[in-house]
Amino acid sequence: AKSAGGNRFELADPEADARAITRHGLTTALPTALDRGEFFIEYQPLVNLDDGSVRGAEALVRWLHPQHGVLGPDRFIPLAEHTGLIVPLGRWVLEQSVRQARQWRERHDEATAGPLRINVNLSPCQLTHPGLVQDTVEILQAAGVDPDALCLEVTESALIGADDDLLKPLRRLAEMGVDIALDDFGTGYSNLANLRRLPVSVLKLDRSFTQSMQQFPADPVDLKIVEGIVSLAHSLDLAVTVEGVETGAQAEQLRILGCDTAQGWYYARPGPPDRLHELALVDATG
Ligand code: C2E
Ligand code: CA
Ligand code: CA
Ligand code: CA
C-alpha cells in the first residue's frame, strides 16, 4: 500500500525520493552482497512458557551494508523476493542456521534438556522453487542435523488458498520430520477448517494478539480469540508459539491461555549465536 502512487509523490517529497534512491541502490547492491559476505544472522530464543527454558531459536537475517550500516530484513527481503535473490539468500540462511544448530548441540548436548531447535523463515518464492526439498535434505545431511531439529516458518498468507502443488514440498519435508510453522497466524483470515489440510505442526500467533494482552484486563474479544485458537490448535495436535512477548504480564496471560512456546524481548532480543548458547546454558544449569 505504501508504494501505491509512489511515483507521483517522489518528486514532491524529498524523503520519499531518498527512499526510492535507497531502494534502487539496495536492489543494485543485493546480488553482490551475498558474495561479499555482508549478510549475517541473529538468533532469538524460543522458550517454553511453562518453565522458561530455552528450546531453540529463530534465525533472523540482517545485512551489514557498507554505507547504510545494519539493515533489517523488512528493508531488503521484499527486494530480494522481487529480484529472485531470495532463493540463494534463503538457502544461505538455512545452511548457516543448520550448521549453527549443530554447533550448539556439540557445545551443550548434555547440559540442556533436549537438542536446541532451529527455526528458519521461508519466503513464498522459496516454496515454489523446485530445489527446496533436495537443498534442505542436503543441508541437514551435510551438517549431521536431524530433520526433527528444524522448523520452517511459512506465513499464513503464503498458504491461503494454496493448491496441492504448493503444499507438496511442505508435505515431503513434514514427512521427513521437519516441523512446519504457520507464521503470523491470525492475520490472514484463513479458513480454520483449512488447517487440517496443511502439513503444519505449529501455529505462530501473530504479535498483534500478544500486544492486546498488555492491557489489563485484556480485550475480552482477543482473549476469546486466543483461547479459541489454542483449543483448536491443541485438538488438531498443533503447538502454539507466541511472538512479540515484551512483558512478564503478557507471558503470564499467554501461559494461562495455554500457549506452549514464547519469543520476544522479555526473554531476549535477537543476538549473536554465542548469546543463545549462554542463555541455554544458564537456563540448564540453573
Ligand atoms: P517474523 O518472522 O515475524 O519475525 C519476528 C520479528 O519480530 C523479528 O523482526 C524480531 O526481531 C521481532 N521481534 C522479536 N521479539 C519482539 C518483541 O518482543 N517486540 C517486537 N516489537 N518485535 C519483536 P525482524 O528481525 O526485523 O524480522 C522481520 C521479518 O523479516 C520477520 O518477521 C520475517 O518475516 C522476515 N525475515 C527475517 N529473516 C528472514 C529470512 O531469513 N528469510 C525470510 N524469507 N524472511 C526473513
Ligand atoms: Ca518468523
Ligand atoms: Ca511472525
Ligand atoms: Ca503448557
pLDDT in tens, 121-144: 999 999 999 999 999 999 999 999
Q: How far is CA 98 from CA 197, 206, 264, in A?
A: 28, 25, 22
pLDDT, tens digit, for every residue of 89-115?
Answer: 999 999 999 999 999 888 876 555 567
Among the ranges given (47-56, 79-88, 187-196, 231-240), the one the predictor scored with the smallest mean pLDDT: 187-196
Output the pTM of the full model: 0.92
What are the cell numbers at 272? 549473536
* CA of residue 11 to ligand 2 center, whole Å: 36
Among 43, 205, 243, 267, residue to substitute to test ligand 1 (most atoms within 8 Å of Cβ): 243
Q: Distance, CA 267 to ligand 3 centroid (Å)?
A: 16
**Distance from the alpha carbon of residue 45 to the mean position of ligand 3, in angstroms:** 14
* CB 97 near ligand 1, within 6 Å: no
Alpha-carbon distance of 152 to 71, in angstroms, equals 23
Q: How far is CA 155 from CA 23, 69, 118, in A?
A: 24, 28, 17
Ligand 4 centroid to 250 CA: how many Å?
Answer: 15
Q: Which residues pair with 117 in a beta bridge?
A: 56
**Probe target for ligand 1 pocket from 39, 43, 121, with the most ligand atoms within 8 Å of CB:** 121
The ipTM, to two decimals, is: 0.97
